[in-house]
Amino acid sequence: MQILEQLAFINNLEVIPLVQTFGHMEFVLKHAEYSVYREDIMNHDTICPSNEGSWHLITKMLTQVRIMHPNAKRIHIGADEAYTIAKYAKKTLGFTEVLAWNDMFGDIDVNLLNEYKMGELVVPVIWGYAVNVTKPDYFPKDMFERYSQAFPKMIFASAFKGANGQNEFFCYIRRYLANQQS
């Protein structure tokens, strides 16, 4: 990890760690010892937010990431369902920015985003699965206009290897290159 961070620094890049905090938790919840934290016992992708042990597990993961990335200014926590986690990551762990995938709140009214002060909590990371995300109507209507009224800034990202499905073994390079270029 130190070598990666050194190379990033030399090349004027920033390493932003990603820790999924509610959804996409297969990497943890698939293990028998953590199955008690599942929202649905038959589904290993979502953690139960009302289980006290879930909060302990998430804070432990975030603390481990902070130890591995002591100089990180930002952390990506997955999607917007992590409202409380965003506050914890900023206040307790000292991250200056918390990034969250935008697709879970793309249709939310700007008044609601402002009421919950989402712009103070997270920076939306805008991305899409499609090869060309610049097509009209790919993103929800007026999303960028609403976001500009609720968030001081936005970050754009490309799709990743798992965008074709969580069980993918290979990365289709041309597809992801086209996604990045769009």
Clarify whether residues 19 and 75 are in a common domain. Answer: yes
Residues 118 and 159 in one domain: yes
Q: What burial letters (b/e) apply to 118-148, b meaning 16+ CB within 10 Å?
A: bbebbbbbbbbeebebeeeeebeeebeebbe
Considering the domain architecture, whether residues 86 and 142 belong to the same structural domain is answered as no
Give the whole-angstrom CA distance, residue 63 versus residue 107. Answer: 32
| Res. 80 pLDDT band, cuts 50 70 90 | very low
Same domain? 6 vs 83: yes
- Give the whole-angstrom CA distance, residue 50 versus residue 124: 25
Listed as own residue / partner, the contacts of 154-159 with beta carbons closer than 8 Å and 24 or more positions apart are: 154/102, 154/123, 154/124, 154/125, 154/126, 155/99, 155/123, 155/124, 155/125, 155/126, 156/125, 156/126, 156/127, 157/125, 157/126, 157/127, 158/127, 159/127, 159/128, 159/129
Same domain (yes/no): 86, 109:
no
Does residue 52 register a pLDDT over 80? yes
Domain count, the chain: 2
What's the pLDDT score for residue 88? 67
- 144 and 84 part of one domain: no
pLDDT digits (tens, 9 = 90+) for 89-137: 777 778 888 888 887 777 888 998 898 888 998 899 998 877 788 888 8
How many whole angstroms separate alpha carbon 50 and alpha carbon 38?
10
| Same domain, residue pair 72 and 58 | yes
- Taking the CB of residue 165, how many other CB atoms lie within 10 A of it? 7
> Is 5 an annotated catalytic residue?
no
Distance CA 37, CA 109 (A): 31
Q: Among the three residues 40, 69, 98, which one is the final residue of a domain in this structure?
A: 98
Q: Which one of the listed residues 5, 26, 81, 145 is annotated catalytic?
A: 81
Same domain, 10 and 53: yes
Of 66, 98, 130, the position where a domain reaches its end is 98
Same domain as 125, residue 46: no
Q: To the nearest whole number, what is the mean pLDDT of the chain?
A: 83
State how far the Cα of 76 lies from the Cα of 79, in Å rounded to an integer: 9
pTM over 0.85: no
- What is the span of the domain harbouring residue 33? 1-98
119 and 43 assigned to the same domain: no
| 89 and 122 assigned to the same domain | no
Q: Which residues lie below 8 Å from residue 114, measured CB to CB, with a gap of 6+?
A: 149, 150
- Asked which of 64, 82, 98 is the last residue of a domain, the reply is 98
Tokens 């069980």 belong to residue:
167
Q: Do residue 5 and residue 88 come from a single domain? A: yes
